Structure 1
Amino acid sequence: MDRRIKKNQEAIMKALLSLMAEKDFSKITINEIAERADVNRGTIYSHYMDKYDLLDACIETHLDQLMASCMPIEGVELFPSKNSLLRTFELMEKNASLYTTLLTNKGVPPFRNRVQAMLEKGIQEQITTNHHDLGLHTDVLVQFLSSATVGVIEWWFTHAMPYSAAEITDQLWTLLELNQMIPRTSPVQPL
């Protein structure tokens, strides 16, 4: 991709996200995005059909980064891995304003649902690949793991991240171990 095109797209996405931090997505106009990105309207329309297409592209870009961060390092760690979960929370912590905006902006189609769908797909693939047999129906296990994880992520952001990425990772990992959703790495005492 041409560097100029990439630079324009990054500026446009950054402008959208900064405006979303200030007001509902439904109230943002293409003119405001163009002005904030220091490009003309035509540049935006040369890359995106409308602001909804721009939002989708922005969400996909950040979901791809999130997914890449949570994948195990090939040959080094298994899935699920506490280290991959920690990398994911660290990425979210580093980009806290972005994820807070996407999770809390009233005018955004439910970002939470997109994150959960991404997790469901990844968990389903890992269960199929690794042949986990916990005596549970796969669809129930996938729903439980994805809902629990997204719920914790959403709570963490809507409560101004009261714990560090390392602390929230430890908490979530322990909960998953207690519910026998992942192999235990150390003895865990019941609460």
Structure 2
Amino acid sequence: MGGLSGREFESPHLQKGIAMPRQTDVRVQKTKERLSASLLSLLKEKSIEKVSICEICNRAGVNRNTFYSHYSDIKELLAEIEGGFMEEIISSIAISKNTVESVEDLFLLILDIVESNQDMCTLLFSDNGDKNFLHNILMFAMPSAIQNWMAELGISEDDATLLYYFVMGGAVHTLEAYVKKGISLSKKDLASKLNDMVMKAQEALSISKN
């Protein structure tokens, strides 16, 4: 999947509005997969600022012209990788929305996604990763969480929004610790404890308004 797409593969066929042969599409996709794998491999060794296009191409077995036919720079390639991962997450949340009936269910869903993409999440939480990525995931889940909390906790939209921002700040660091094996709890137990914390925060919010 691709989220933030790179520049279109330039071709006279595209310029004329004629569909490219499927064989070419498959070849382009395979090339992009090699470039993505190459970048992710390099990010295990160094920060993105220290990765060069030459290194990516050498490891992927393609030349620089091929790289530039798809991407303007390295960050555009990384954006496409993250966009693809984000699409998978969005699909998972959309498919599961009818079964997410509680705050605990939402946390468990996010933990399932993190565990299913352990390598990607470990990389994103490393010193070479993009720390804003999990924040973006949680922001995507925000509308669903707010609606659930309004219904489940009986609070206003403003209070649910305030509660979500409060919880999100702690959730980012908690999930980071979980990915880095700093928390030995099972997914179920961690989701339950996070749920308890949300309830306590909601109680404190209610008390402060009385």
Q: TM-score, normalised by structure 2?
A: 0.68
Q: Does the aligned pair in 1 maintain the 2:125–2:176 contact within 8 Å? A: yes
Q: 1:96 to 1:161 in 2, by over 3 A?
A: farther
Alignment gaps of 5+ in structure 1 = 182-191
Identify the residue that residue 158 of structure 1 maps to in structure 2. 180
58, 68, 72: which one aligns with 1:35: 58
Alignment gaps of 5+ in structure 2 = 1-21, 204-210
Q: Distance in 2 between matches of 1:141 and 1:34?
A: 46
Deviates more, 1:130-139 or 1:56-65: 130-139
Q: 1:140 to 1:131 in 2, by over 3 A?
A: closer
The CA deviation at 1:20 is 0.4
Identify the residue that residue 113 of structure 1 maps to in structure 2. 132
Q: Distance in 2 between matches of 1:131 and 1:19?
A: 44
Sequence identity percentage: 24
Q: Does the aligned pair in 1 maintain the 2:149–2:160 contact within 8 Å? A: no
C-alpha distance after superposition, 1:33-66 (max 9, x if no partner): 1122222222221221100111111122222223
Identify the residue that residue 58 of structure 1 maps to in structure 2. 81
Q: Distance in 2 between matches of 1:166 and 1:39?
A: 44
Q: Does the aligned pair in 2 maintain the 1:69–1:88 contact within 8 Å? A: no
Deviates more, 1:88-97 or 1:41-50: 88-97
Q: Distance in 2 between matches of 1:74 and 1:159?
A: 28
Letter matched to residue 45 of structure 2: E
Q: 1:21 to 1:160 in 2, by over 3 A?
A: farther
Aligned residues: 177
Please tell me whether Structure 1 or Structure 2 has the larger radius of gyration of its CA atoms: 2
Matches within 5 A, 1:79-94: 80=103, 82=105, 85-94=107-116
Q: Does the aligned pair in 1 maintain the 2:114–2:179 contact within 8 Å? A: no
168, 188, 191: which one aligns with 1:146: 168
